[in-house]
Amino acid sequence: MDFESKSYLYELRVLDYFMKTKKEAILLVLLCTFLTAAGQIFLKIGSGNLSFSILKLLGNLPLITGFALYFLGAVILVIALKHGELSVLYPIIATSFVWVSFLSIIFLNEIMNAWKWAGVITIVLGMGLIGKGGSLG
């Protein structure tokens, strides 16, 4: 490895050290969004058997699974927020819309039209802009 490569790697390490939002926090938020999106799918499935009887609610496993995934996602989000800037991490929650779109196609046989795909692309581009702003910070 030549001097220029070593210098570049050193600069990257210094930049990474001073970044306020850790990469691990971003990954935790992404995990959170996937869990809450999966929870939304389970809530949708559980809503098909929705009843306002306590015993039937307690026996509605998709509904309970959906709530559990939401709770787990919230716990992971709180842990992630400890290690990063809210203004960088919270917009990543928008990936939930992306995950739900894909999971809805796979598990609920929903159809994505051009407008929905345009919305998904807009969300992804917006998160990229916010992430870029956070790294310049």
CA 87 to chain centre: 15
Domain presence at residue 1: no
Can you tell me the distance from the alpha carbon of 63 to that of 49, in angstroms, rounded to the nearest whole number?
A: 9
Residue 46, domain extent: 27-136
**Quick check: is 9 in a domain?**
no
Instruction: Determine if the pTM surpasses 0.85.
Output: no
What is the spatial distance between Cα 66 and Cα 68, in angstroms, rounded to a whole number?
5
Report the alpha-carbon distance of residue 37 to residue 29 in Å, rounded: 12
Q: Establish if 15 belongs to a structural domain.
A: no
Q: pLDDT digits over 1-29, tens only? A: 555 556 666 555 545 544 677 889 999 99
pLDDT for res 18: 45
pLDDT at 33: 96
| Structural domains counted in the chain | 1
Scanning the structure block, which residue is given the tokens 């787990």?
72
Phi, psi for 15 (deg, rounded to 5): -60, -45
